[in-house]
Amino acid sequence: MKAILLARVSTDEQDTQPQLLKLKEYADRQNLQYTEADIFDFDESAYKETRQKFEEIIERLKKQKETVALCCDKIDRLIRNYVKHLPIIDELRKSGKVELHFPSDNIILTDKSPASDLFRFNMGVALAQYYSDSISDNVKRAIYKRIKSGQILSKAPYGYKNITLDEDNKTVVVDAYPAQVVLKLFEWYSTGAYSMSQLVTKVEKELNVKMGKSEVGRILEDKFYIGIETYKKGNLDYPHIYEKIVPEYLFNKVQDVKAGRLINGNQGKFAGKPFYYRNLIKCGICGYSMSPEEQKGKNYYCCTEYGGKHGAKYVTEDVLTQEFVKAFTQLSLSEETAKKIMQELKKTNEDNLAMSQDMIDHLRTEQGKLRQRKSKLYDDYADAGITRDFYEEKLKQYDTELTRIEDKLSAVDNVDKDFYITAGYIIQLAQHSAELFERSEDEERKLLIKTVLTNVTWDGEKLSYDYNIPFNLLVDLDERSIMGSWWGSNPRPPLPQSGALTN
């Protein structure tokens, strides 16, 4: 009689060779005939491949014209996780096409098998299914335990390293340089001045790291950087215990920029061309975006008129550049004025530091209280003083509140560190913004406009805009206004300025 030998293991750590050795010895004793093509061995870790091989065995059994012995070492080696195939195999047995041989269980099933053998086989099937279900339950419990403890379920993303402490303990730590790359990607993209393609070029040029657009996109969407792991199979987000790389406010800003690009994004015939002012200017008549296009080697902008025709006129990129230069020229400050402003900002910064320290002390006190409550909550749960549902609900509440406090502490700390540096940058930018604008490349020019100007519109005749805070306070200031109305006995900063420049 011909035979098919089937050996199967559940994981790639196990070995099919002991099963195959038993099956070959059994086939020789029973005078069963087989070739190398009749031997199947596989593991369930390669799930798709396993299914394909088993389907191949079923199809071969169906096509046989004479009885074939399907040999497996034990019942569970044949049917665990293949219950849907059991009716097919049983029909082949009843029709006399297949005999089922299980050497270690000492069972041979044919079309003439007695009820006692069939009962033993069915019991083996039930026990194998129970074993499989138990393994699944254990895996689910292990996953649930890791989720509750805030541990990662998969490999950590770029910016982190997976570390093995010992055989049973693993952790995740920040990988210093890649983490800085991640933070830079978020900072650059949050400005709205860079496309994905520009980020890829910039990160390679400035940080010497090669990435594709898809990888950059995944990084900018991964909540792991703000302390949230995602269990994809269960469609579940939960707070993890590892160090954060990106502040939550910065992550949210990036998502807003991405959403804006998807809605208004770089679409159309000329989307790939280097237009300076793409997505920066709206029509002053209808509010729709000014669309760029190239004609005979020159760049033009015109309202899309999606809201209705109103006789929109084309304007060249060169004309718009001249108008933007005028806008930045209004931010001129003398060296003496800039020095006085910096002295006042330094005093303001010192006052802010004192206020921030009070806030930090308060937040750390609240943080300590919450950690004590978490510890007591666990003790109450361990002593059966509270129910599991109550424990889990309060634990989630405490973790959420702790995350909120940590984000606030991080934000306050960043403000303390960056305030004076940022103020100095603003003054320097105000002094040299026109010069910087004229010599800037595409993305730097966009960044300057977004930093200094807002509500930029073109109505066919003139460019209008407002200055962002605090640049609105620096426009057209002279020595007298600074020493008098701003820092006098009744300080009153000048009103925001608006530009209305004519061609």
Residue 167 has pLDDT above 70, yes or no: no
* CA 374 – CA 418 distance, rounded (Å): 34
pLDDT digit string (tens) for 227-258? 998 877 656 788 889 999 999 888 988 888 77
CA nearest 156: which of 222, 215, 208, 221? 222
Mean pLDDT of 20-26: 92
As given in the structure block, the two tokens for residue 119 are 């009962």
* pLDDT given at position 37: 87
* CA 467 – CA 474 distance, rounded (Å): 9
What are the phi and psi torsion angles at 309 (to 5°)?
Answer: -70, 135
Q: Which fold has domain 2-146?
A: Rossmann fold (3.40.50)
365 by Cβ neighbours in 10 Å (0-12 / 13-18 / 19+) ranks as exposed
Structural domain boundaries in the chain: 2-146, 149-265, 335-502
Average pLDDT, rounded, for the chain: 76
Sign, CA dihedral 415-418-420-426, equals negative
∠ at Cα 350 (348, 356), nearest 5°? Answer: 100
Q: Cis peptide before 292, with omega less than 30 degrees from 0?
A: no
Burial per residue of 266-292, b for 16 or more beta-carbon CB atoms within 10 angstroms, e otherwise = eeeeeeeeebbbbbbbbbbbbebbbbb
Check if the beta carbon of residue 82 is closer than 8 Å to that of residue 100: no
Could you tell me where the DSSP H helices lie in 30-114?
A: 47-63, 75-79, 86-94
What are the phi and psi torsion angles at 454 (to 5°)?
Answer: -145, 165
* CA 214 – CA 200 distance, rounded (Å): 10
* CA 376 – CA 457 distance, rounded (Å): 59
Fold matches, 2-146 and 149-265: no
Residue 185 has pLDDT above 90, yes or no: yes
* pLDDT given at position 134: 65
As given in the structure block, the two tokens for residue 207 are 């940080």
pLDDT digit string (tens) for 271-296? 445 677 777 888 888 888 788 887 77
Domain at 149-265, CATH class: alpha beta
From the CA atom positions of the chain, what is the Rg in Å?
35
Residue type, 413: D
* CA 363 – CA 241 distance, rounded (Å): 20
* CA 427 – CA 470 distance, rounded (Å): 10
Residue type, 434: A
